[in-house]
Amino acid sequence: MDQEDLVGRLMADMDADLLHFLQTKANSFVKWDLLRFFHENPHTTDTAANIARYAGRAVETTEAGLIDLAREGVLSTTRLGEMTVYSLSNNPEIRNLLQRFVKASDDRDFRVKAVFHVIRSMR
């Protein structure tokens, strides 16, 4: 079985919405962590530097992830003076999808497939 077949088999039984979410939003481990962080702390409003501190990651990688997630509409950005602050989007569809994704990733089988996909997309 070549790798394309394996990928196809791994993704075939995944919910289409969740697969799309994984491919476009949770497509790096940093972004996955950030998504989980915002799911668990849904009313966080802060700068990239402070969110990096909460997440225990470097500012540069965190900021890049936050910018991507904002571009994808998962996060909202607000300018406060010279600061750019990030918060979870109020869009109920996004919030619902995030909740489904986090819940699904509690399942080991889903997680294995998702991790495989993230690693593959990072190559």
Partner 1 sequence: MGKETELERVKTGIPGLDDILCGGLLRQTAVLVEGAPGTGKTTFGMQFIHHGIVACNEPGIILTFEQFPSQYYRDAANFGWDFRRLEEEGKLRIIMTSPEVSRALVEETGGQIERLTRQMGARRILVDSLSHFERLADSPVQFRQMIYGFINGLKREGLTAVLTRESYALLGEIEGQDESIPFVVDNYILLRYVEMDSTLHKALLVLKMRGSDHDKSIRRFTITSKGMEVLSRFEGQEGILSGSPRRMAESFIEAFVRRQGEGR
Binding residues for partner 1 (CB under 8 A): 40-47, 50, 54, 80-81, 83, 85
* Smallest distance from partner 1 to CB 73, Å: 19
Check if the beta carbon of residue 63 is closer than 8 Å to that of residue 57: no
Query: In 57-81, which positions are buried (b, 16+ CB within 10 angstroms) versus exposed (e)?
Result: beeebbbebbebbbebebbbeeeee
Nearer to partner 1, 44 or 61 (CB): 44
Distance CA 101, CA 123 (A): 23
Nearer to partner 1, 24 or 99 (CB): 99
Chain-centre distance for alpha carbon 11: 18
Nearer to partner 1, 83 or 119 (CB): 83
* Smallest distance from partner 1 to CB 84, Å: 10
Q: Residue 31: which of 79, 83, 85, 86 has the closest Cα?
A: 86
Check if the beta carbon of residue 86 is closer than 8 Å to that of residue 48: yes
* Smallest distance from partner 1 to CB 86, Å: 10
Amino acid at 14: M
Nearer to partner 1, 28 or 47 (CB): 47
* Smallest distance from partner 1 to CB 98, Å: 15
